[in-house]
Structure 1
Amino acid sequence: MNVGFIGLGRMGAGMAANLLKAGHDVTVYNRTPGKDEELVQMGARSAAEVAEACDGEIVVTMLADDHAVESLVYGDQRVLASLAKGAIHVSSSTISVAFAERLTADHAAAGQRFVAAPVFGRPEAAADGKLFVVAAGESEAVTTATPFFDAVGQKTFVVSETPKAANLVKLSGNFLIASVIESLGEAIALVSKGGVDRHQYLDMLTSTLFGAPVYKTYGGLIVDRKFEPAGFAAPLGQKDIRLVLAAAEELRVPLPIASLLRDRFLSLLAHGGDNLDWSALGSLAARDAGEAAN
């Protein structure tokens, strides 16, 4: 399959590498020069402009937010203007439900197809091809894009023929992860201040009631207080909570915990957390309890 890949951050670089390992022809583009060097050595073609990555069956965007996607999709020599009729734009970015709806309509008007396929997993999972893909779009387009899903993920969940549904599912999942991070941080702060070793406490939790990977991964980061380098930066977590609240408002679904998380993320960022992993949210309870960061 001839694939264009736009966005070579920690997630995108791993995904593009796995496309190459699976034998696909891959053209890569990144706004920051030089990030494609390793992929080019693996056999990728480097695109100097967005349009050069849009001459295949599929172009994938893996970018930070609505603004980043919009800047590379709309305009002269961008995705919408360059993609052939019938070709597919697969968005693996975590974007708003409203923007996914706009992309669906605009690609349809141009005779193109749009599939939303955000992913669950941190950069290590992206590098190992172990992401979980949440896909939504017209069934034939999803089928055409399946080799991409298979190359980057261990399992794909097709949730709807309406692309924005995948973005809603992704945002709901990130809301749940942030909820786990916050509650873990609070529980760990409580027992730690009460004299219980936090590492021993986490081992007990994850060996009994809470053995899911999310508790092991984020619990480990919280007890080790290892928030750098960021696998998923705190401002992106704050963005996702803002987007889930926007979706909830549109659907008239109260999310009181999400409102709390919005304020907790703002507190983290106000105290200089911009470069930290979003798991640093779990450090706020210890700080509020007057525990030293050690």
Structure 2
Amino acid sequence: MKIGFIGLGNMGSVVARNLMKAGHDVTVWNRSPGKADALVAEGAIRAATPAEAAQGDVVQTILADDTALEAVSFGPDGILSAPSKAIHVSHSTISVKLAERLTQAHADHGSVLVSAPVFGRPAAAEAAKLFIAAAGPADALDMCEPVFDAIGQKTFRIGGHPPAANIVKLCGNFMILAAVEALAEAMTLAQKHGVAKATLLEVMTGTLFGSPAYQIYGDIMVRDAFRPAGFAAPLGLKDMNLVSAAATTAWVPMPALSVLRDHLMATVAREGEEIDWSGIAKIIAEDAGA
């Protein structure tokens, strides 16, 4: 397939590379052009604008936030200014409101939005082991299957309305951070009573909590390996704010969400913006004098 790829950060660059490894023709664009150099050297085509990247069958975006996605979609040289009707596959964690707006804008343009946010840290992306939550018209999802197969281990079809996938992603990120919070509190309690964090993790993941969230983040906490960030705390805070907006719109009380947001803000305030979002474990331990 002819694929345009926009957004070459920690996740985007390895996802684009996996598409190339799978034999797709990939055209890349990034706001900072230098980030495309390595991929171009490996055979990707460099686009001058997002619109130029959207000339093939599919254009994929992995961007940090609503503002970045709005710029590449609605800007004067954005995806929606392109004459072609490439399927826009948005992997970004964005607001439900923007997903609704993009769905309508693509319909007006005669093109299609597929929301396909992913679960997985950079190591999973590099190994093409992401989990993909995808929503959009069935024929568009069918066409995108080779793309999803090249970057992920499993695709979940959420339905025909693209924003549904975005709400699933927000729910998932909330649950991941809630798991980090619970494990960090439990580790701190165990440690204060003389039980090593590694011992608690071995018992918990070997019995009732053997899921990737506890295993991956538990290992990070045991090693205090919060830098370099696989997912930076400010991005986690952005996502929790998106969860809050979605909850407010639907009148859903989420009291645990307030704790997670406060711990993320405290983590950034004390540790800086380059710490992983699981760095909330440091704040929890420090508050307990551990």
Alignment TM class, shorter chain as reference: over 0.9
What corresponds to 1:165 in structure 2? Answer: 164
Deviations 1:83-135 (A, max 9, x none): 513x2111000001111000000111111110100000000111110000000
Offset of 1:263 from its aligned partner? Answer: 1.4
What corresponds to 1:77 in structure 2? Answer: 77
What corresponds to 2:13 in structure 1? Answer: 13
Q: Distance in 1 between matches of 2:113 and 2:230?
A: 28
Residues 234 and 279 in structure 1, CA contact (< 8 A), matched pair in contact too = yes
What corresponds to 2:132 in structure 1? Answer: 133
What corresponds to 2:118 in structure 1? Answer: 119
Residues 268 and 275 in structure 2, CA contact (< 8 A), matched pair in contact too = no
Offset of 1:219 from its aligned partner? Answer: 0.5
What corresponds to 1:244 in structure 2? Answer: 243
Q: Distance in 1 between matches of 2:171 and 2:281?
A: 19
Q: Distance in 1 between matches of 2:254 and 2:196?
A: 33
Provide the secondary structure at the position in 1 that maps to 2:132.
Answer: strand
What corresponds to 2:229 in structure 1? Answer: 230
More displaced 10-residue stretch of structure 1: 270-279 or 10-19: 270-279
The one-letter code of the counterpart of 2:47 is A
Provide the secondary structure at the position in 2 that maps to 1:274.
Answer: coil
Residues 15 and 152 in structure 1, CA contact (< 8 A), matched pair in contact too = yes
5+ residue gaps, structure 1, are: none
What corresponds to 1:34 in structure 2? Answer: 34
Residues 185 and 284 in structure 1, CA contact (< 8 A), matched pair in contact too = no
Provide the secondary structure at the position in 1 that maps to 2:282.
Answer: helix
More displaced 10-residue stretch of structure 1: 230-239 or 35-44: 35-44
More displaced 10-residue stretch of structure 1: 196-205 or 16-25: 196-205
Q: Distance in 1 between matches of 2:70 and 2:211?
A: 35
What corresponds to 1:151 in structure 2? Answer: 150
Of all paired residues, the percent bearing the same amino acid is: 53
The one-letter code of the counterpart of 2:123 is E
What corresponds to 1:204 in structure 2? Answer: 203
More displaced 10-residue stretch of structure 1: 275-284 or 116-125: 275-284
Residues 134 and 157 in structure 1, CA contact (< 8 A), matched pair in contact too = yes
Q: Distance in 2 between matches of 1:243 and 1:159?
A: 19
What corresponds to 1:44 in structure 2? Answer: 44
Deviations 1:52-81 (A, max 9, x none): 211101100100010111111112111110
What corresponds to 2:106 in structure 1? Answer: 107
- Cα distance change of structure 1 residues 178 and 217 upon mapping to structure 2, 3 Å threshold: same
Q: Distance in 2 between matches of 1:211 and 1:153?
A: 21
Offset of 1:204 from its aligned partner? Answer: 1.7
Provide the secondary structure at the position in 2 that maps to 1:250.
Answer: helix
Q: Distance in 2 between matches of 1:267 and 1:175?
A: 17
Q: Distance in 1 between matches of 2:96 and 2:220?
A: 30
Deviations 1:10-54 (A, max 9, x none): 111111011001100000111112212222232211122222211
2:282 is equivalent to residue 283 of structure 1: yes
Provide the secondary structure at the position in 2 that maps to 1:271.
Answer: helix
Q: Distance in 2 between matches of 1:206 and 1:42?
A: 40
Provide the secondary structure at the position in 2 that maps to 1:43.
Answer: coil
| Structure 1 consecutive aligned stretches of length 4 or more whose deviation exceeds 6 Å | none
Q: Distance in 2 between matches of 1:93 and 1:83?
A: 23
Q: Distance in 1 between matches of 2:104 and 2:270?
A: 40
The one-letter code of the counterpart of 2:226 is F
Offset of 1:230 from its aligned partner? Answer: 0.6
What corresponds to 1:68 in structure 2? Answer: 68
- Cα distance change of structure 1 residues 90 and 13 upon mapping to structure 2, 3 Å threshold: same
Q: Distance in 2 between matches of 1:129 and 1:222?
A: 25
Calculate the TM-score normalised by the size of structure 2: 0.97
